[in-house]
Amino acid sequence: MRHDDRPHDVADSGGEAHAESTFAALAAPLVDEALSQSASIHADASPESLHQLRVALRRLRSLWWAYGPLLDRQENARQRALYRFLADAAGKTRDWDILLELLASKTNETSEPGEEGALRAAPACLREARERALAASRETLINADIRNVLHGALASTSKELNSAPERHALQKFAAKRVRAAEKSLRKRMDKASRAKPADYDALHDVRKAGKKVRYLIELFGPVLDDVGHDHTLKRLKKLQQCFGELNDVTASIALLRENTGLFADEAEARAALALLKERRKARRREAVQLLRET
């Protein structure tokens, strides 16, 4: 199935573009990117291909969120849940990659005497677990029939929008949805600024809300007339980088705790956890500082 992914609907020079008729032009490139990365994973599941698949699926989820007011609520929720499920399938392997990268990039600054040798061996004993996770990710994506699922979602949603009796001006619609996402981000930032030190979920919520705003600005960019969005994008990318590093360490700690039995002895597990906890403290300080400056 081929979709017209030319950008003429997004920045229509002749007449006013409508949100309904623009949807396919916005969604099709994201579907193509997700399918391309999915094919790469089957051939050679590099950390980058896994990451890019998750990004494409998250962008699709954000786009379906943006169009939520124009779609059947239950069907929209089902589609967004599906994209999350597929992203999580790829994410299980990606989480192992992040853990291995963090342990491989250890420094002597956080290692007690005798720990360095244990940490040196840790990545090797976890690689098999990563390969098992990869096999499970591949199986899930194959069984999900991702190509037909994504093309089907694009076709059915486009049909629903194009058959709707009402039309919405794209520029006003896009601006309204971006504002809604920005409002949600501000609420989460305010909550996180008052959160307790151990409340990593509040900081994670800021990261997720920030990504949604960023994705929508990038998707609707050609029709957004607010010049301040360029500055917002730069700020969001900085926030996403900082909070992403914190989330990586936090997720790695959880993953390691669930799999301490993979280590040869308890000393190895304790050394690895100690390393990651120290890094989490540092990353949290950076995230909180950035939150106060933003």
Q: What is the CATH number of the domain that holds 97?
A: 1.40.20.10
Asked, for residue 109, whether it belongs to a domain, the answer is yes
Tens of pLDDT, residues 174-194: 999 999 999 999 999 999 998
15: alpha, beta or left? (left if phi > 0; alpha if psi -120 to 50): left
Asked, for residue 6, whether it belongs to a domain, the answer is no
Mean pLDDT estimate for the chain: 86
| Nearest by Cα to 53 from 5, 27, 86, 16 | 86
Asked, for residue 190, whether it belongs to a domain, the answer is yes
CA distance 124 to 272: 13
Whether 9 shows a pLDDT value over 60: the answer reads no
Which has more confidence, 178 or 228?
178
Whether 118 shows a pLDDT value over 90: the answer reads no
In the chain, what percentage of residues exceed pLDDT 70? 88
Which has more confidence, 99 or 50?
99
Least confident of 10-19, 112-121, 252-261: 112-121
Asked, for residue 1, whether it belongs to a domain, the answer is no
**pLDDT of res. 227:** 61
**pLDDT of res. 120:** 52
Q: How much is the average pLDDT of 240-246?
A: 93
With beta carbons less than 8 A apart as the criterion, state whether 124 and 272 touch.
Answer: no
**pLDDT of res. 139:** 86
Helices first, then strands: H and E counts in the chain: 9, 0
The set of residues, in sequence order, having a beta carbon less than 8 Å from that of 71 and lying 6+ positions away, is 64, 157, 160, 161
**CB count in 10 Å sphere of residue 124:** 10
Asked, for residue 220, whether it belongs to a domain, the answer is yes
Domain that holds residue 119: 17-293
Residue whose pair of structure tokens reads 């623009």 in the numeric block: 22
Asked, for residue 209, whether it belongs to a domain, the answer is yes
**pLDDT of res. 273:** 93
Which has more confidence, 1 or 279?
279
**pLDDT of res. 46:** 80
259: its two tokens: 């799999």
Asked, for residue 4, whether it belongs to a domain, the answer is no
Asked, for residue 170, whether it belongs to a domain, the answer is yes
| Nearest by Cα to 30 from 53, 56, 52, 62 | 56
Number of domains in the chain: 1
DSSP string, 28-86: HHHHHHHHHHHHHHHH---HHHHHHHHHHHHHHHHHHHHTGGGS-HHHHHHHHHHHHHH
Whether 80 shows a pLDDT value over 70: the answer reads yes
Burial class of residue 200 in the structure, from the number of CB atoms within 10 Å of its CB (0-12 exposed, 13-18 middle, 19+ buried): buried
Whether 51 shows a pLDDT value over 90: the answer reads no
One-letter identity of residue 8: H
**pLDDT of res. 8:** 36
